[in-house]
Structure 1
Amino acid sequence: MPSIHPMYGGVSANFVRGGATTIENAEYGSAAVLNFEKTPIYFLLGRGETSGRWNIAKGEGVDDYPQLAEFAHGGGTDHLVSLLEFPKEAALRGVSLSLTSDRPGGFSDDQLAIVAKLFPALGLACYRIAASKTAADILAVYTGAKTSARILAGEIQRGKGGSINAAILLADLRNFTALTEVYQPGEIAGFLDEHFELIGRHVEENSGEILKFMGDSVLAIFPTDAEDQQKACMAALASARNILEANKVLNGQRRNDGGPDIGVDVVLHLGEVFYGNIGARGRLDFTVIGSAVNEASRLEKLCGTLEQELLMSESFATTCAVACEYLGSFELRGVSKRADVFKLADAVF
């Protein structure tokens, strides 16, 4: 089936008698997608036909389609393909069902009659799976895997949510606004995608979740409870250090092509936040709010002042299990209490 996903062009399920069942996601740019034009499915789509049959034993299609040559090499004798269209309201076009036999003489008339009855039922099942999977996949892409799971579990009422403790990671691209006066919008979007990709990768590999892209900033959380606060802080810190290192590598590669250096400032904080649905009646955002989020945002403004690319709040620095260096106490706009600010000890970083 084709898929609606920013990374995958389609998904296939392969069943082999006596072997394992495999599910494969075909990434954009992968061999599976690039070679799609060399398949019987593409042939039928191009001719506007919904079914086809190739007598592999007689060599039909073997020279035209690598897949049929592979089946022939494995003893295949007959190959069927049926294209079933989904309802028009579905964004997905439909599903292709293929069946290969190694029976001498290929499929019998009785077997073909069974297949003719079976394929429509399979198509209906595929439609149900596709609709459910597409909804879950797209929701996860736009809200994050953990947040989407909560939404699909029914947490969709405005104001519904609760207080949680979390390590907060706020990453902001340094002096990015100035680039908009030099580069075209398409180039700017490309730069953002490159940096957001590496930030997202290192957040997710440490069990964090990105909640929001805000212009050239990223907000992520690492939820925790009272017993695991240090673990969450260490996960957020590992993400931050990996982000900064990967960002240097990315800038080095872009510099070789004559592109700009784009720095990233990261702030780490630990506190209580409200995690839930916020917004208008017909347009909600599942996110975090609270004083801890505001404080993290204000701390980020100090990165340039202190000439530091990684800053930590007192609550974070005293909880994580690494040596930190005190930088001073600072007023934060809109925050009544002065904030003690830390960085990693030079020997640690």
Structure 2
Amino acid sequence: MDTTLRLELMSWLVSAGLTALPENDLIRGFCERARVGGLDVSRGLVFIDTLHPIFEGRGFRWNDTETNESDVFEYGSTDHGEAATNWRKSAFFHMLENGHDELQINVADIETLNFSIMGDLVRNGHRHCIAFLHRFGEAGSMGQMDCLYSYWATRRESGFEPRELAALRDLVPVLGLAIKSAAQVQIARTLGRVYLGRDAAEQVLRGRITRGVTERIKAVLWFSDLRGSTAISEAICPDEIIPFLNDYAEASIAAIHDSGGDVLKLIGDGVLAMFTGEDMAAAKRCALRAEHQFRENIVALNARRSAADRPVTSAYVGLHVGEVFYGNIGSDDRLDFTVVGPAVNEVSRIASMCASVDRPLLTSTAFQSGLDTTGQGYLVSTGRFALRGIGRAQDLYTLDPELNSDVLIAGKYERYLAG
């Protein structure tokens, strides 16, 4: 590959990186253009660690022939178990341990070298490969994302020619920079979703980060907390507290997300969420669907925890609807993208009343009255209450107890929620 072709490919990589082309498209475009330019590459693999609550990193593959492999893969922690064993047997671990940034490998020697990650090269007819480590340096690292790993294979018996090796040494760092750029966009989106919530993250990433910038919206509000969590936390081993909270948070968050809601804040064992849309009646039905799914999730969770002899509980849920301010609140140095307003205080007070009336769910009058006629039929009044800090008394509603005793009514309710 001559200098002109290298420069053309570098220019394409820079342009593709600036336009945020996905990583799998980057490696495919790179390999296809490299082959047209005379570089006899038959397989490429690139992977990079990331910041993610589940995955340690992501990888991308390209082959010169069709395979059953996915061109994108994600991997979990390599700190323990089989993953740790495979990582320590990899060429890349060998390179890190020995301070190598480049390693040329005859595929015939892979079994002797016991490099686990590259075993498929032998089976698929590749003959030689070159592996690279491109380090980011302290200032360029983000969590465990401190290095780009890649290898490039050829089917040629004699391996890559010197001019091809020189081209790879010039080009792979540029590809790495484009992939790192794309990975950092994904990290920003992941961190936003994980710590802010899905809709709030999108708002922030679209540029809504100015202090005091909010919008007034009407929303269905959810507030839930766990029954007896303080007593349980005091009774169990300290190491069990976080897993306990995580299990029940997962049960609620999964139900809310699956029903189209957005989780805004976790407050100890409490969850603040909202459901929005042009049709408030539909948003309320989504909230009821989430509450129903939450109960089913708790039943399954409690069965698992009981089988493991771990403490179990249930939850209280309050539902309300009202106008809130949604946006950036705080100082210039520390902002929170959330909802505020009297309706937020009210929904938390409604949830706190659940214990007093011994009902797992309570809704406000505003929530009940805005439902369609069928939905209203499934809610019954528990009485009129004056909520702490709320100026006016109101009826609070709960699900008709017959839902728990009449299979036909329960089935109709489930069909209503699914409609």
- Fold match, TM over 0.5? yes
- Between the aligned partners of 1:28 and 1:233, the Cα distance in structure 2 is 40
Taking the TM superposition and a 5 Å limit, the aligned residue runs for 1:69-80 are 69-80=119-130
Aligned pair partner of 1:308 in 354, 359, 362: 359
Q: CA RMSD in A?
A: 2.1
| Structure 1 gaps, min length 5 | none
Taking the TM superposition and a 5 Å limit, the aligned residue runs for 1:281-320 are 281-320=332-371
Aligned partners of 1:94 and 1:127 also within 8 Å: no
Amino acid at match of 2:72: I
- Between the aligned partners of 2:257 and 2:271, the Cα distance in structure 1 is 13
Does 2:122 align with 1:67? no
Q: Which has the higher strand share?
A: 1
Q: Which residue of 2 aligns with 1:149?
A: 202
TM-score calculated relative to the size of structure 1: 0.92
List per-residue Cα deviations over 1:187-231 (Å, max 9, x = no partner).
111100111112111111122111101111000111222xx2122
| SS of residue paired to 1:180 | helix
Q: Answer with 59-68 or 9-18: which moved more.
A: 59-68
What displacement does 1:34 show? Answer: 6.3
Q: Answer with 188-197 or 29-38: which moved more.
A: 29-38
- Between the aligned partners of 2:86 and 2:295, the Cα distance in structure 1 is 37
- Between the aligned partners of 2:177 and 2:113, the Cα distance in structure 1 is 33
Taking the TM superposition and a 5 Å limit, the aligned residue runs for 1:251-330 are 251-321=302-372, 322=375, 323-330=378-385
- Between the aligned partners of 1:33 and 1:234, the Cα distance in structure 2 is 46
**CA distance 1:28–1:325, change in 2 (3 Å):** farther
| SS of residue paired to 2:202 | helix
Amino acid at match of 1:14: R
List per-residue Cα deviations over 1:156-199 (Å, max 9, x = no partner).
11211101121111110111111232123321111001111121
Aligned partners of 2:222 and 2:318 also within 8 Å: yes
**CA distance 1:22–1:316, change in 2 (3 Å):** farther
Aligned partners of 1:211 and 1:221 also within 8 Å: yes
List per-residue Cα deviations over 1:216-251 (Å, max 9, x = no partner).
1000111222xx212211221111111112112222
- Between the aligned partners of 2:222 and 2:85, the Cα distance in structure 1 is 38
Aligned pair partner of 1:13 in 56, 60, 65: 60
| SS of residue paired to 2:248 | helix
- Between the aligned partners of 2:90 and 2:285, the Cα distance in structure 1 is 49
Q: Which residue of 2 aligns with 1:23?
A: 72
Q: Which residue of 2 aligns with 1:229?
A: 280
| SS of residue paired to 1:60 | helix
Does 2:390 align with 1:339? no
Does 2:166 align with 1:113? yes
Aligned residues between the structures = 346
Aligned partners of 2:86 and 2:117 also within 8 Å: no
| Structure 2 gaps, min length 5 | 1-47, 404-408, 411-419
Q: Runs of 4 or more off by more than 6 Å in structure 1?
A: none
**CA distance 1:32–1:161, change in 2 (3 Å):** farther
What displacement does 1:256 show? Answer: 2.6
**CA distance 1:34–1:274, change in 2 (3 Å):** farther
Q: Which has the higher helix share?
A: 2
- Between the aligned partners of 2:367 and 2:87, the Cα distance in structure 1 is 50
Q: Which residue of 1 aligns with 2:179?
A: 126
